[in-house]
Structure 1
Amino acid sequence: MTITLNHTIVPAVDNETEARFLAAVLGLSYDGPNRHFAPVRINEQLTLDFMTVDEPQPMHLAFDVDPATFDAAVDHLRANKIPFGNRPHDWTNGLTDHPFAARGVFFRDAAQNLYELMSPE
């Protein structure tokens, strides 16, 4: 059997707000809470389950995305004045060149989780 990641828990200040935030950036739907989680289906294999915690410890989540998804995400970030940048230590510089992909960005949510989007072109 091939091993795949099924889901991961993402710490949140407010699980539904942060689930909606990431779903909007990635152009995904958010269907509402499931018990104490706010799940966002990333693809057929992976769900991110946002969970409200008292003191969230930020994590880094990196995604390979196609060029159209990348463009739409950057457009959304710009339109909503969400800071982004091309380096994890400089994630507010507004640049999209990336050290390991043709284009890429980093941005944070309210819990300070660091998201990374990388596009091959």
Structure 2
Amino acid sequence: MTIRLNHTIVPAADNEAAARYLAAVLHLEYGGLHPVARHFAQLRINEELTLDYMTIPDAPGHHLAFDVDPVTFDAAVAHLRAHGLPHGDGPGTHTNGQVDERHPTGGRGVYFADPSGNLYELITSS
């Protein structure tokens, strides 16, 4: 049996702002509200996965970690730096402006939070 994650709901103070934020960092195209369930701001991560952001007052932040290729990683870090967006080398140090050059996976990692407090982690093998 094959099991894949199809989508996950990500709480946010402003669903469209949160979807646009991650789309900009990862150089993805934000497609707008879900065509049927219009209370979700849907961001397609890849062919198999969407993040469906839902506006929830006082939403608790989630941690989402993505394996990315080195080109995507470098482009995301460049975007964060070029736009003065806080990022860092650990979940507790996600605003120190550093990149983890010795991530536990053996590659590099970077953490950043969206305005709703969702904490993202990008991991690359090199």
User: TM-score, normalised on structure 1?
Assistant: 0.96
> What is the aligned partner in structure 2 of residue 42 from structure 1?
45
- Aligned-pair identity in percent equals 60
Find the aligned partners of 1:67 and 1:99 in 2 and give their Cα distance.
14
> What is the aligned partner in structure 2 of residue 99 from structure 1?
103
Where does 1:56-67 land on structure 2 (aligned, <5 Å)?
56-67=59-70
> What is the aligned partner in structure 2 of residue 3 from structure 1?
3
Give structure 1 regions of 4+ aligned residues with deviation exceeding 2 angstroms.
Answer: none
The question of 1:110 aligning with 2:115 is answered yes
SS class of match (1:56): coil
> What is the aligned partner in structure 2 of residue 12 from structure 1?
12
CA RMSD of aligned residues (A): 0.9
The question of 1:74 aligning with 2:77 is answered yes
User: TM-score, normalised on structure 2?
Assistant: 0.93
Find the aligned partners of 1:117 and 1:90 in 2 and give their Cα distance.
14
What's the offset of the Cα at 1:99? 2.9
1:56-81 deviation digits (Å, cap 9, x = unpaired): 01110000000000000001000111
1:63-103 deviation digits (Å, cap 9, x = unpaired): 00000000000010001111100110111111112432421
What runs of 5+ residues in structure 1 fail to find an aligned partner? none
